[in-house]
Amino acid sequence: MMKVLSSQRGIAAVEFLIVLPLLLTILLAVTEFGQAFITFNTLNKLVHNGVRYATSDIQGTSSYDQIADVSKIKNIVVYGKSAPTDGDSVLVEGLSVDDVSVAHSSGYVTVSVDYSYSPISSFLPTSLDLYFPLDTSAVMRTLP
């Protein structure tokens, strides 16, 4: 009986070393998915704030079918304020004003973001392109 027990020593360590890469891969995948989901949710909220600003900041206009200044709308989406200063940082890393588009036609305004998400695991040495698009948009009516 003692001979069987002594031959089993180290089996748990070997099994752990076999399973460890799989566990780490699952952990990394869950972390990446969570980070991508948080980034998409943040972009979605920023776009909604931009389209809301586009339709609400139109004081003094004579018609309903007006929107706010396009550059201010883009700044709201990227910085969270219509007139950012030099010290302000972007709300989502890698997002720029060029990634935001504003379209206004037929009584509707559409604010869209085309963002290229860079995974946390992009530091791993691989020949794969790990970037993928996170695109979101919001539409709001400008006419009564």
Are the beta carbons of 133 and 116 closer than 8 angstroms? yes
In a domain, 7, yes or no: no
Buried/exposed 32-59: b ≥16 CB within 10 Å, e otherwise: beeebeebbebbeebbbbbbbbbbeebe
In a domain, 6, yes or no: no
pTM: 0.79
In a domain, 5, yes or no: no
Measured between alpha carbons, how far is 43 from 136 in angstroms, rounded to an integer?
Answer: 7
Q: What pLDDT does 2 receive?
A: 55
Give, for all 144 residues of the chain, the pLDDT tens digit.
555 556 667 888 888 899 999 999 899 889 988 999 999 999 999 999 999 999 886 665 556 778 888 999 999 999 998 888 888 899 998 899 999 999 998 889 999 999 998 887 666 666 566 678 889 999 998 876
Domain with 54, as residue range(s), is 12-141
In a domain, 1, yes or no: no
In a domain, 3, yes or no: no
Q: What pLDDT does 110 receive?
A: 94
Are the beta carbons of 44 and 105 closer than 8 angstroms? no
Q: What is the number of structural domains in the chain? A: 1
Q: What pLDDT does 29 receive?
A: 85
In a domain, 20, yes or no: yes
